[in-house]
Amino acid sequence: MNYLDELCDSGSAGFPKSKNSMRGDDILSRARNTEILGMAEELLVAWNPVRMFGTGAGSIHLPAASKEMLRWVHRGLWTVGTYLKDTDFSHLEEEGRGPSTAETVLYQFLEFVGDCYGVDLTLGSGGMVKDVYGRMVEEKYEM
């Protein structure tokens, strides 16, 4: 994806030159984009065991394992959410730059899980669960 973005940014190999980079306008925003893109990729990888063990799509049906893996997916989403919490997204509503590559991949993941499995990963159950430190906390995700 970064390779294609680079071709578009430079107008090389027959691609039209982009007005706005999907990787970021400066080195810090490009680094942040790469970091969030890596986390979005981790979410995609972490979703596979949730799907396999929870839906019976594979040969092993382990709902408890699926539930635990889903908690790991939510931990990853929480991390991404804290990174994006202070991000100004007003440029998406105005005639500014479009979404970054990382924002697009993250949105695609959330849409995929919602459309294909009927799960809104941005919502928690509201129930009390044990966190990684053994404390009882409310299951909620603020994204």
Q: What gap in Å lies between CA 125 and CA 23, rounded to an integer?
A: 34
Residue type, 84: L
DSSP annotation string for 103-133: HHHHHHHHHHHHHHH---TT----SEEE-TT
Per residue in 35-81, pLDDT tens? 888 988 898 888 888 888 877 776 778 888 888 888 888 888 878 87
Q: What gap in Å lies between CA 45 and CA 58, rounded to an integer?
A: 16
Per residue in 72-108, pLDDT tens? 888 888 788 777 777 766 766 666 567 888 888 888 8
Location of structure tokens 């539930």: 67
